[in-house]
A and B are shown apart, each in its own frame.
Chain A
Amino acid sequence: NAGVTQTPKFRVLKTGQSMTLLCAQDMNHEYMYWYRQDPGMGLRLIHYSVGEGTTAKGEVPDGYNVSRLKKQNFLLGLESAAPSQTSVYFCASSYAGFSYNEQFFGPGTRLTVL
């Protein structure tokens, strides 16, 4: 039981490049989330999904797209990376709705955009 895994762990991009971050969970959770963490800012929700085939915007969705084609996977895409997207990205999942259950986090992806 691996829990929540994220790929890759580190990545350096040049401005304008694109990339996809992959999140996978093996706990059969319905809900999945993408956050970014910046120094002194806590975690901010980018996008989330309440089930396979669904996605919704969070607090800071601009510049990102997501897809949830399979229940166990949640992909975060950057179409044209900008230096402001330099951050640590965390994926999380939970069994049910946001408020009633704990969220399980992946180890994070550290992204630098030059």
Chain B
Amino acid sequence: SQQGEEDPQALSIQEGENATMNCSYKTSINNLQWYRQNSGRGLVHLILIRSNEREKHSGRLRVTLDTSKKSSSLLITASRAADTASYFCATANLGQGGKLIFGQGTELSVKP
């Protein structure tokens, strides 16, 4: 069963623009993680935000978490062509042994 619903499914922007991806989930979580997947490759962990945190930064990445709305967003600032990839949110849910449940992903294309 899918927990995270990601929006949009696909996003195309120009280099230098900001990219925002959203993730909504259904049940209470322990934490939420974002991963990136380049075409034909495995997933790479980007950032983890715990349920008691509201915002986290890592380089050009900014993640927010709103547990009241059961949603998270990933913002990539000043995007580069190398940011082209699929981005997945994954939730570690309470009462599920903490297993990660992945969303369907957002496919980001950054045009030079």
Interface residues of A, Cβ cutoff 8 Å to B: 4, 35, 40-45, 48, 58-59, 90, 92, 97-100, 102-108
Contact = CB atoms under 8 A, between A and B. Distances in A.
Contact of A99 (B45, B98, B103, B105): B98
Interface string B40-70: 1111110010000000000000000000000
B20 interface: no
Given A42-B2, A42-B4, A105-B43, A98 B100 contact: yes
Contacts, number: 56
Interface of B: 1-2, 4, 30-31, 33, 40-45, 48, 88, 90, 92, 97-100, 102-105
B45 to A, nearest CB: 4
A105 B40 CA distance: 12
8 contacts: A43-B43, A43-B90, A59-B99, A92-B43, A98-B92, A99-B31, A103-B43, A103-B45
A4 B44 CA distance: 12
Contact of B104 (A4, A35, A40, A97): A40
B103 A42 contact: yes
A42 B102 contact: yes
A106 B44 CA distance: 9
Contacts of A107: 41-42
B22 to A, nearest CB: 15
Give the dominant DSSP class at A's interface: loop
Contacts of B92: 98-99
Given A58-B99, A98-B100, A42 B105 contact: yes
